[in-house]
């Protein structure tokens, strides 16, 4: 291993750029908002593109085994540093949020109606992206919590100001209260770890920590519950359906395809990386059960919903259940599958929300009972939606088939075969609501008076791109699986 954290080089410059460019763009758009209304989208797009390029530029160094890190003392008396770091555990999540941000910004070019507040809208999008990037890049508990809260503040402001409907203020407040309560539970866990080690460094935590058994159980519980709020696991999901339904579509895409994955990253980075398998073991079955309940509940609610945006929102509750179940198996296959599912879910969920946005934009309708017969009027959107539906149902050769296979395999490697069978039953419900979704919108008799408007290319192009990626990622899963496999050496002490 070669350490490259003490001096600036190409890798550490990209490390700073991934986080610094979106922050600089947000500042620029805020200060010069009156002079860059027409260019705000391009500034945000270039910023997001630069971050994504930076993520890929870190790959060669990671493959060489270099430790890409940068840090400086900030509060020496308290042993708090401003430290950034990338490893194989954080890389898939960093790549996911960077890619989703770029796709969401491009989609915004066609979705957002430009006005004098447009630069501020893009500025908050960049702050939202910077919060997610900082959460995965930081090597400091102090910075982790700052960026964790930045995600919440920026996304909450976007919902409160640009949300759809008169209830956007109430929905934003509900979203803030629920997710902030989860954040406070995470904060308690971080403070206990800081008090036990005298340092806020992840590196110190990875070296080992000793806590009394009761205290360790409490910290693990707080972490799992706090991060499960961000994942929207039932019954901690109550903020999600309203927030996803009311938020502007680009924000919904970032919430569902990127921000939810931050909860998974938190569980992997803290309880599963810091504590031993023996300490985590008492929480394994509760995590599996909670995952199954969330999976089944989300699927049933998706079957019952009438609002097409809320249908896909409840799908997220269900899909996060798969991930928590995989983590709870505490097996190599289960945790690898859960991490893969984060990446693949991001592709497919962004695709489905984009297709939903295209239907709403073209028809002006959101109720599935008021839609139908759009296959001939919107053939390309129908095709992309079909790809998304097949993918989220776990149909080969699309990407989610691989991650679900691993999750189910992990479940059958445990002693709890009955729970694994229930998980398989949940996948049948996924097929049911997915097929009903596409069938009712595109193949049912077209309601009288339903008209279809032309769609902006900026909204259609990234949608087609994600549909293609869902197939490509399914046909060639090896690169992503390799990244995840390398990251698992940091989980549960690497005892695989």
Going by DSSP bridges, is the β-strand pair 2-3/66-75 parallel, antiparallel, or unpaired? parallel
Q: Tell me, what's the pLDDT at 411?
A: 92
Pick out the chain residues at pLDDT < 70. Answer: 1-8, 492-496
Q: Which helix (H) or strand (E) holds 382?
A: helix 379-392
- d(CA 412, CA 495) in angstroms, rounded, equals 19
pLDDT tens by residue, 185-234: 999 999 999 988 888 888 788 777 788 899 999 999 999 999 999 999 99
Q: Tell me, what's the pLDDT at 152?
A: 94
Q: Tell me, what's the pLDDT at 237?
A: 92
Strand order in the sheet with 2-3: 2-3, 66-75, 80-86
Domain boundaries, the chain: 279-496
Q: Tell me, what's the pLDDT at 492?
A: 67
DSSP 138: B
CA dihedral (217, 220, 224, 230) positive or negative: positive
DSSP 140: B
Q: Tell me, what's the pLDDT at 3?
A: 39
Structure tokens at 412: 């059958």
Q: Tell me, what's the pLDDT at 302?
A: 95
Q: Are 373 and 442 in contact (CB under 8 A)?
A: yes
Q: Tell me, what's the pLDDT at 7?
A: 58
Q: Tell me, what's the pLDDT at 204?
A: 80
Structure tokens at 380: 């390309």
């Amino acid at each position: 291993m070669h350490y490259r954290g003490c001096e600036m080089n190409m890798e550490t410059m990209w490390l700073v750029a991934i986080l610094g460019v979106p922050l600089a763009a947000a500042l620029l758009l805020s200060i010069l908002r009156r002079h860059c209304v027409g260019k705000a989208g391009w500034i945000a797009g270039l910023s997001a593109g630069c971050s994504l390029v930076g993520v890929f530029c870190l790959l060669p160094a990671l493959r060489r085994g270099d430790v890409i890190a940068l840090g400086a003392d900030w509060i020496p008396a308290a042993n708090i540093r401003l430290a950034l770091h990338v490893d194989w555990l954080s890389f898939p999540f960093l790549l996911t949020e960077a890619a989703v941000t770029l796709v969401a910004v491009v989609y915004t070019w066609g979705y957002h109606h430009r006005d004098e507040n447009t630069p501020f809208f893009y500025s908050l999008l960049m702050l939202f992206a910077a919060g997610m990037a900082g959460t995965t890049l930081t090597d400091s508990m102090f910075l982790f919590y700052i960026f964790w809260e930045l995600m919440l503040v920026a996304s909450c402001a976007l919902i409160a100001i640009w949300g759809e409907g008169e209830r956007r203020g109430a929905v934003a407040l509900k979203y803030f209260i629920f997710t902030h309560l989860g954040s406070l539970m995470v904060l308690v866990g971080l403070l206990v770890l800081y008090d036990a080690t005298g340092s806020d460094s992840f590196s110190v935590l990875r070296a080992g920590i000793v806590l009394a058994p009761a205290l360790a159980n409490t910290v693990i519980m707080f972490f799992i519950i706090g991060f499960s709020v961000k994942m929207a696991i039932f019954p901690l999901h109550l903020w999600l359906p309203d927030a996803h339904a009311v938020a502007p579509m680009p924000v919904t895409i970032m919430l569902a395809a990127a921000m939810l994955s931050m909860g998974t990253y938190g569980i992997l980075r803290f309880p599963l990386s810091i504590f031993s398998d023996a300490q985590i073991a008492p929480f394994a079955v509760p995590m599996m059960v909670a995952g199954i309940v969330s999976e089944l509940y989300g699927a049933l609610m998706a079957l019952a919903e009438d609002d097409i945006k809320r249908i896909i929102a409840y799908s997220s509750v269900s899909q996060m259940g798969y991930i928590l179940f995989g983590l709870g198996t505490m097996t190599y296959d289960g945790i690898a599958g859960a991490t893969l599912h984060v990446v693949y879910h991001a592709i497919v969920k962004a695709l489905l929300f984009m297709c939903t946005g295209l239907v709403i934009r073209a028809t002006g309708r959101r109720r599935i009972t008021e839609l139908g017969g759009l296959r001939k009027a919107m053939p390309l959107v129908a095709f992309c939606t079909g790809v998304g539906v097949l993918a989220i149902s776990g149909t080969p050769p699309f990407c989610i088939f691989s991650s679900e296979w691993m999750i189910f395999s992990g479940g059958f490697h445990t002693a709890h075969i009955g729970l694994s069978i229930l998980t398989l039953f949940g996948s049948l419900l996924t097929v049911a609501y997915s097929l009903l979704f596409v069938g009712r919108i595109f193949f049912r008799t077209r309601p009288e008076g339903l008209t279809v408007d032309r769609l902006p290319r900026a909204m259609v192009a990234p949608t087609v791109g994600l549909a293609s990626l869902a197939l490509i990622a399914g046909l060639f899963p090896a690169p992503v699986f390799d990244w995840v496999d390398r990251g698992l050496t940091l989980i549960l002490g690497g005892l695989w």
